[in-house]
Amino acid sequence: MSATSVSSQLARLLSRSARLATPATARMSARASARHISTTRAVARSAAGLRVNNTVAPVSGLARQYSSKSYPDHQLVGMPALSPTMTQGNVGQWQKSVGDKIEPGDVLVEIETDKAQMDFEFQEEGYLAKILAPTGTKDLKIDTPVAIIVENEADVAAFADFSLDQAGSPASAPAPASSPAPVESAKAAAAPAAPAQTFQTAAEGDRIFASPLAKTLAREKGIDLAQVSGSGPRGRIVKSDIEGFAASKAAATSTAASAKSVETASAPAPAAKKAAAAPAPAASAGFTDTPVTNMRKVIASRLTEAKSTIPHYYLTQNIKMDNVNKLRQSLNTAANGAYKLSVNDFVIKAAASALRDVPDVNSSWQGEFIRQHHHADIAVAAATPAGLITPIVKTCDAKGLRAISSDVRDLVARARANKLKPEEFQGGSFTISNLGMYGITSFSAIINPPHAAILSVGSTEPQLVIDPTAEKGFKSVDVMSVQLSADHRVVDGAT
């Protein structure tokens, strides 16, 4: 069987999946379109905001400059938003030391985002005067100050004892009249006392924007969405916001009950309760607690949401690989070491050809509309020390086997070194997860939203099949098992 035959089998598999689901509506209302455009612009502004600009409101990662009676003019560098979904980050290794000169484009510090560990490149000249968040600092919210930059090297020494409390918060510093920063600061200051003020972005008037899962959870828990602050794009309420609100509400109730109990308890009781609140693990404890990284938190959240909100269904097919293996061996021999094709390279190319033949599967669920992609941008699941990540091989339908193989090797290597750019692991139109190299014959993969499907690839195993032309009436063939997990909301079985 040739690589073309593999592509044909995958195309039929995708076509079958397209016939099994109920047709999904692909209309998009004018309001949804406008909201999508606004969201896109907001993301673009967030990315562009990495440059310092003293005439606009601060955004994630922006250095904010102001004067102080105690200190020379300086810039506070905030925790940058290095991905659209990032809400907090961990500080990795600082690449600059106090007193070092910084040129535009220099890597200031490594930041662990919700996706990977990435370099934060500063875009202005200056000198690093103070590191406010040392290596290892965890869970810093976006815009939390992490460093101070000054223009003159002579001003560095003045910040040896710098304190944000003594110098004053940047939010309280004066700003140009054209800057909307005071409005943003006022919103930030009012957020703890009045969550509805922060939620106004999500509501945009009287309408509240929340994910379907968040709405369902809110109904189940009896929570008024108007009281919840959204942490999603443009203030959209997501599942974690509902869970956090419910947890804080439960904690408040528990605290009140505990306070009442303490008033009636004997004197030693509070001390005993305090000791029980944070037990120290015994030296002989039979377990080890490992702190959860930002990446692991995102993996847990996305997979839980995918499995609980996406109606999965599964299709399995066995593919004869004898001809593909012979072709692969022939091409690798002819390459004379210039490249080495893997079985996964053939699978990616076959899937790309199948997606071109069945474009309805090359789609993504967008909530109020279905987006059909014009190219097969295939995400390839790769294991890293920090967790699973899916770098994207772009336009696989227009590439040959050698180009695909080269791209996969480069992306996976940089993923394991935490050197991927956001655009290299966000988006895509289809996912492939291959565990065949680990001896796994078959498995059911969880869909990677917003993709409509994921192909799980097992190992190639020898099997006996009937062959009337053989002397013994049967022969051994190499068979690879693949399984397609499809989203019933997007993929119609009759396509």
Catalytic residue set:
488, 492
Residue 75's nearest CA partner among 181, 168, 170, 149 is 149
**Beta strands 453-466 and 430-434, pairing class:** parallel
The tokens for 428 are 């895509």
What is the spatial distance between Cα 10 and Cα 319, in angstroms, rounded to a whole number?
A: 9
What is the spatial distance between Cα 229 and Cα 380, in angstroms, rounded to a whole number?
A: 35
Residue 109's nearest CA partner among 100, 99, 122 is 122
State the burial class of residue 264 (Cβ atoms within 10 Å of its Cβ: 0-12, 13-18, 19+). exposed
What is the spatial distance between Cα 239 and Cα 301, in angstroms, rounded to a whole number?
A: 9
| 3-state SS, residue 71 | coil
Q: How far is CA 293 from CA 90, 225, 271, 430, in A?
A: 9, 29, 33, 26
Contact 80, 61 (CB under 8 A): yes
State the burial class of residue 480 (Cβ atoms within 10 Å of its Cβ: 0-12, 13-18, 19+). buried
What DSSP element (H or E) covers 2? none
Alpha helices in 310-392 (DSSP H): 322-335, 343-357
Preceding peptide of 468 cis, ω within 30° = no
Number of H helices, E strands in the chain: 12, 19
What is the spatial distance between Cα 60 and Cα 377, in angstroms, rounded to a whole number?
A: 29
The tokens for 297 are 């938190």
